[in-house]
Amino acid sequence: MVALMKIVRPCWKPAPEDGRGRGGGSPARADGLLWYKDLGRHAVGEFSMAVAQANNLLEDGSQIESGPLSWSEEAPGPHGTFVGVYDGHGGPEASRYINERLFLHLKKFASEQQDMSVDVIKKAFSATEEGFISFVRKQWFTKPQIASVGSCCLVGVVSGGILYVANLGDSRAVLGRFDGGFREVTAVQMCPEHNASFESVREELHSLHPNDPQIVVLKHNVWRVKGLIQVSRSIGDAYLKDAEFNREPLLSKFRLPEPFQKPILSAEPSIVTHKLCPEDQFIIFASDGLWEHLSNQEAVDMIQNSPHNGIARRLVKAALQEAAKKREMRYSDLKKIDRGVRRHFHDDITVIVLFLDPALVNRNFYHGPVLSLKGAGVPV
């Protein structure tokens, strides 16, 4: 038991045993490198959440917040549900920073506007980016490698019958929508991905940097921005946004041989809005650790054909089974591999499934318990 807790403690933060942490349903639990909350309630339905760790220090962060979305807990401030999935790279610092700050920024700007909007979300992303770059600047002389740490950032907000999806990087939000004609639930991807593997992203980078023929490089059969990183948008990654960090004492493998005049990576999120309708059944928010092994439709089909309770955990398990299959090994053997070494077989995986109750989606008020739950990656 002691050995198990040594593994679990760095990986997860148990939900407080009250309305703020649990939101009803099953308690949050951990099983080795898997953290999960099988079922809970949010403002417009139920949710299920799971995280599987692969890195030595888990780099994914995640949260779900439900209730008031501004500092004014009374009307007319917006109410609803906020979901965040933060897939870090280079270390956990950026994803942890986002996990602690982004939602607070969103509440601040929503309070100022007394509403939820694309502008509120953009301002929250911008404030989070500025705050983290400032943090990097303060840490530069004692911990220079933090300039190479960044995170993808996927956010979903359901408020006033509108779904907002904002994305930086290659996490993904997928809507499950009932198609009456085919009598099935179809997958609708709700956000573009900012990964250099997509030709459209490479074209965008070339248009933004027309004088740099090396802006994207095919390295070891993988397209990378400047030969270094696959994503073109992120929070952090200061070494590719401000030339002041493109120097010693940053490790030479991160330093570019030539100075740059404007940011190479962007922190401008792609934001999609969607008026929810009764056919919209659920939304999957997940880091690319899931999508490396499951297609959009495969994930939607699993949810449609399974009970709500524990569905996020089943999606994670399905991805792990696929990862094991690709390496010609048994799932039971994969589970025995410890964090760190596990990263050679799969990435950290975060999944949040948000079910939508049509009777609740369009309400402009919420009188239930306030939900605030962070997944794995938050130190105890």
Do the beta carbons of residue 337 and residue 32 sit within 8 Å? no
Residue 150 token pair: 């960044």
Architecture of domain 2-142+159-192+271-374: 4-Layer Sandwich (3.60)
Question: What contacts 303, CB < 8 A, 6 or more positions away?
Answer: 176, 185, 282, 284, 311, 315, 353
Residue 71 token pair: 């500092």
Do the beta carbons of residue 85 and residue 128 sit within 8 Å? no
Largest CA distance in the chain: 61
What average pLDDT does range 274-295 have in this prediction? 96
Q: How confident is the model at residue 75 (pLDDT cuts 50, 70, 90)?
A: low
* Predicted pLDDT at 31: 84
* Predicted pLDDT at 24: 59
Q: Give the single-character DSSP code of 147.
A: G
Mapping DSSP to helix (H, G, I), strand (E, B) and coil, where does residue 42 land? strand
Question: Residue 74 above 60 pLDDT?
Answer: no
Higher pLDDT, 138 or 377: 138
Prediction pTM value: 0.90
**35-to-64, 117, 210, 233, 347 alpha-carbon distances in Å:** 14, 32, 45, 28, 15
CA dist 348 and 98 (Å) reads 17
**Per-residue model confidence as pLDDT tens digits over 108-119:** 999 999 999 999
Question: Residue 281 above 50 pLDDT?
Answer: yes
**What DSSP string describes 10-24?**
TT--PPPSSHHHH-S
Please give the angle made by the CA atoms of 377, 7 and 151, to the nearest 5 degrees: 25
Residue 340 token pair: 């760190």
CA dist 221 and 210 (Å) reads 23
**Percentage of the chain lying above the pLDDT 90 cut:** 73
What average pLDDT does range 297-309 have in this prediction? 96
Question: What contacts 281, CB < 8 A, 6 or more positions away?
Answer: 176, 177, 178, 185, 304, 355, 356
